[in-house]
Structure 1
Amino acid sequence: MSQNLVSLELSNEQLAQAEQAVTALEQALAGLVSLSIGERRRLTKMGQKSEVFCRQTLRVLAQNPQIVPPGLELAEAQADLLALDQLAPLLDRVQRLAERGRDTEMALGADVMDAALEGYALLKVSGRQQGLDGLRKELSSRWARSRSAEPEPAEA
């Protein structure tokens, strides 16, 4: 019996609507940046534990402007914190949607794979009688183990 984790039919209209929504999201958030792997590694990150520290420090600095040198750019840090607060709920929703999309993709693939495995088992059992043995052998390449290439003998 085949599994059916998900049944999903998307109309051309739904796909076009989703495509337009993603395009609109990309345009609305055109200021987002991409960091290289090296940049990600080098950055001092603000995690959950340090967020309270950062917020309190910026608040104390704002309350005591006499100790803030001009090079610190406190206003820019405050603007960054505001943008972070505005962006976080939206990114949470986008992440949840992406996770559901990946889970749905996995479930659809698992359903297809399950049905294909059942079908292949049927070909193994009754395919020869139906003249499908050649096709079954072709499909069996999925299960073939690759042998490591043997070194060619050295020429003398």
Structure 2
Amino acid sequence: MIEQVLDYDDDALARIDQALDGLLEALGPLQAMTPAERRRLFKMGPKTETFCRQALLLMEANPDAVSPALDLPRAQTHLRSVDRLRPRLQRLQQIESLLTDTITLMGVDVAERARIGFHVMRNSGAVKGLKPLQKHLGARYRRAPSRSRKG
């Protein structure tokens, strides 16, 4: 279970939203892709990155052999941006992981307390409004019939 009570009031949520808006503004024009577009791309993965870095260095050392249409400065700028953004992405991924885990733990805490409280009320007898909740829970936790194994 989660160690402490976390309660995000409207001011805290407004500060979070403001920080996220500021982050999006600072990042500039981000681009989205469809899954199909993502699959079709020749991506710069870890192995390809080494090749790309070497190829750019080679092109820089031999400018006469490189067509200006290739726009080497653009590729160099993008590679620098990748290098500079990657640590920020790692931090965002850490924040996402922490936020996901915290939300999961708060949900576990709520579910556990609700389950225990429900059982206490059910066992105590005359609690108003219990029947509809029992019916809902019965449907929620209904087990599928077990299949007999053929052996």
TM-score exceeds 0.5: yes
Contact 1:61 1:67 (8 Å CA) reproduced: yes
**CA-to-aligned-CA distance 1:65-85 (integer Å, 9 cap, x gap):** 111123322111111111111
Partner of 1:118: 116
Partner of 2:73: 75
Describe the shift of the 1:42–1:29 C-alpha distance in structure 2 as closer, same or farther (beyond 3 A).
Answer: same
Partner of 1:42: 40
Cα offset for 1:142? 2.2
Partner of 1:12: 10
Superposed CA RMSD in Å reads 2.2
Name the TM-score, length of structure 2 as normaliser. Answer: 0.83
The SS at the match of 2:22 is helix
Contact 1:58 1:78 (8 Å CA) reproduced: yes
The SS at the match of 1:114 is helix
The SS at the match of 1:45 is coil
**Aligned with 1:92 (options 90, 93, 105):** 90
The SS at the match of 2:82 is helix
Partner of 2:61: 63
Partner of 1:134: 131
Letter in 2 for 1:109: G
Letter in 1 for 2:66: V
The gaps in structure 2 that reach 5 residues or longer are 146-151
Q: How many positions carry a matched residue from both structures?
A: 144
Partner of 2:51: 53
Name the TM-score, length of structure 1 as normaliser. Answer: 0.80
Cα offset for 1:130? 4.0
Describe the shift of the 1:105–1:66 C-alpha distance in structure 2 as closer, same or farther (beyond 3 A).
Answer: same
Contact 1:6 1:108 (8 Å CA) reproduced: no
The gaps in structure 1 that reach 5 residues or longer are 148-156
Could you tell me how far apart the structure 1 residues matched to 2:36 and 2:47 are? 23
